Structures are given as structure tokens and as C-alpha cells.
Amino acid sequence: MKITQLNLREVKIPLRFQFSQSNNAGALHSHSAILEVHTAEGIIGYGESCPRTYVTGEDIAAVQKGLQLVSPEIKGASIHSIEEVEDRLMQWEKKGIGPSVRCALELAFLDAWSKTQEKPLADILGSKPPEVISYSLILPLLRPASLEQLLPKIRHFSPPSVKLKVDAKLEETVNKIHLIRSFFGQELPIRVDVNGGWALQQAEKIIPRLIEQGITSFEQPLPAGQREGLAVLSQRFGKDVRIMADESLLSLEQAKRLIENGCVNHFNLKASKLGGIFSSLEVYQLAHEHDIPCQLGAHFGEASLLTTAGILLSGMAGAMTAYEGAMGTFLLEKDIIVPSITMGLDGRLDTQAGLPKIGLGLIDMAALEQYTQGPAINPNQLLSSLKSNIKR
């Protein structure tokens, strides 16, 4: 498989409802980097990542810059095996290429390889996902009155569990938990995601109150860099509840430090923030060695390319404590994959029927063109232009 060209697209798809969390005031559109890898055989592989400045520090410009740096190694290169793809990704990580860049590249290479070999990616990767995955419903950060307005709009859902985005307003959070349970049932498992929105003293006050409400999972309660504070929370509450790393967990090295310092007792794995399927699998394996459970996470607004990647990861790793993603057209106005890989109203997804037969999914070119912001960018051309400007 010989690579001839790369094209980068910035894709924004309108959301069916505004999505807010403590580190992001509110989004009305998805925001993805879609990478095209063209081959001499006439194949186009598509990859996706979700650069988030408030997670990895990356935006679409950072993805563009990263691609400019690696494009001289890619253009004209021949890929002979999946192992070669893994090796290249490892080298790029050592060179400081960001996770969103690596994820988009990895998925585009895998998509193109599957199409070239005419084999399902699950077979190529040795992935054996659960026959049925039950996905959680993710609810954004809203005031109680706004949540009360949203719930009737999703009344047809019967999710197995809910993840609620929260801030430091304790009484509002308690009220929202009551609202959700009154709507979906008193036995509904609810976990909370703080997105680093609490200070240590706030967390020490809020966690016991939410434990009283039956909350047993607290995702990223403190800002990403506060490992000592996370360790304090894990020591105090970790026997009874999950203290989970998300924004604090962006690499294998960070995973090692979190484990060595006893910072958390749970990991949230997202392909985009960790640099793809292979690097996420490394983190899972390390966690498994140290008896740290993992959940499969997702950025809001992911298209079905990343949903497929998450399913494949789950089949290469092992059981997860929860599964997120597959929101598809429940959240997006339209997906760029047809059919959209979207969970059912009960949160369940039949992976045997839902996984694409070849590649990561069939691209809806009309939708892709519709939601691409400006022209697709060729990093090779940009690199030539950059070198020319430097010489001047």
C-alpha cells in the first residue's frame, strides 16, 4: 500500500442540543479532524480525531502542524503490514507528535489497509468485541430547569446507565440526580463527570454528599495536573467509589505516573486523546496488570469512524466497566458515515450487525463535503509553502 497524498478536513456538524461541561461552556457543533490517506491503488482511507484544547491542548491548527511535520515521511511511503503502522506511530509519539494527529493517521491507515486487503478490520486486528454493547447516556452540564426541559425530549430512551456532567453547585447536582431518577427510574446507575471542575476542598465536601445519593463513580474530580490531590481523594474515598482519570490520562507515561503515585483507581480510555487504538490498548494492558478497571470513553460529537474504533478497541482489550459513544444521529444532525453506527433507544448496539464489513465505515461524501469547513488541506503542499516562506 503506497501513500500518495494526505488531505485534512475540519468538520463541524450541528448538534441536536447544546452540549456543555465544566471545562467547555457549550457547543452547538461537533468538531472533528477528518484525515484522508490516498494510495497508489486508488484507495482512500479515512481517519478521525477530536482535537480539544481543554483536553490535549490541540486544536485543528495543531493537527495541521503535526501532519506537516510527518508528511515528508508519509508521501511515497509503502506500508507492508499493520506492525509497520504501529512502529511509525510509536516513533511519531517519541518525536512529540500529538495524540489527535496520531489517532487520525492510525485510523486512516487502518481504513485504507482494510479496503486494500478486502478484509474486516476486526479480523485484521484480532478484535472480538462483545456481541452486544450497552452504552451509557451522557447528559450535559445544565441548570435543573434546562435539564427538566431536555428530559421529555429523550423520553423514549431507556439507558442502562447515565453519566451526568457536573460542576461545583452541590445542591443543583443533587436536584438533577433526583430529576433523572424520577424520569428514568430510582434504580438507574448514575456516575458523574467533573471535567476537572472542583478544587480539592470542594471535592472532599461534595463526594460524601453524592455518595449518599448513590453515586459511586467520580470522573476527573480535580484539574489534570493535580495528581497529589487525586491521590488524597483516592486514599480517602477509593475503597468505596471510583476516582477516575480522564484529562489526567493522555499517554502511557502519564498512566504509569498515576499508578505509581496511587492517584486514581479507574481509567477512562478514549482513542482520540490517547493517540489511537494501539496506544489505548497499551494503557489498558498496563491498567489490567495493576488491577485498575477501565471504561471506554468518547468525546461528545464523535462521528462513527471513532465509534467503530472504540468498538474495535473493546474487542482487543477486554471487559470495560462502562461504554460511552455511539450517540450518532441522536446527537449529530447527520453522520458522515452511512449507516450511522448509533445505539438503540435502550443503549444497546449489536456489534455483529453494526460493525462495517470493510474499513471503519462507508463515507457519505455529500455529508462530508457539506460539513467540511473550507477546502480540504493538503499538508504536503502546505509544507512546501512553509519551506518556501522560510527560505525567503
Distance between CA atoms of 321 and 164, rounded to whole angstroms? 16
Query: Which positions ≥6 away from 191 have C-beta within 8 Å?
Result: 136, 161, 162, 163, 164, 215, 216, 217, 218, 219, 242, 322
Residue 28 has pLDDT above 50, yes or no: yes
Comma-separated ranges of CATH 3.30.390.10 domains in the chain? 3-119+366-391
Q: What is the pLDDT of residues 133-166, one digit of tens each?
A: 999 999 999 999 999 999 998 889 999 999 999 9
Cell numbers for 93, please give them.
509519539
Record: fold of 3-119+366-391: Enolase-like; domain 1 (3.30.390)
Confidence class for position 23, pLDDT limits 50, 70, 90: low
CATH code: domain 125-362 is 3.20.20.120
Comma-separated ranges of CATH 3.20.20.120 domains in the chain? 125-362
pLDDT computed for residue 122 by the predictor: 97
Q: What is the pLDDT of residues 320-337, one digit of tens each?
A: 999 999 999 999 999 999
pLDDT computed for residue 379 by the predictor: 72
The dihedral region occupied by 190, where left means phi > 0, alpha psi between -120 and 50, and beta the remainder, is beta
Least Cα distance to 328 among 352, 345, 315, 312 occurs for 345
Residue with more model confidence, 28 or 306:
306
pLDDT computed for residue 77 by the predictor: 87
Q: Grid cell 470495560 — which residue?
A: 320
Q: What is the pLDDT of residues 173-206, one digit of tens each?
A: 999 999 999 999 999 999 999 999 999 999 999 9
End-to-end CA distance of the chain: give it in Å, rounded.
36
Q: Flag whether the pTM goes above 0.75.
A: yes
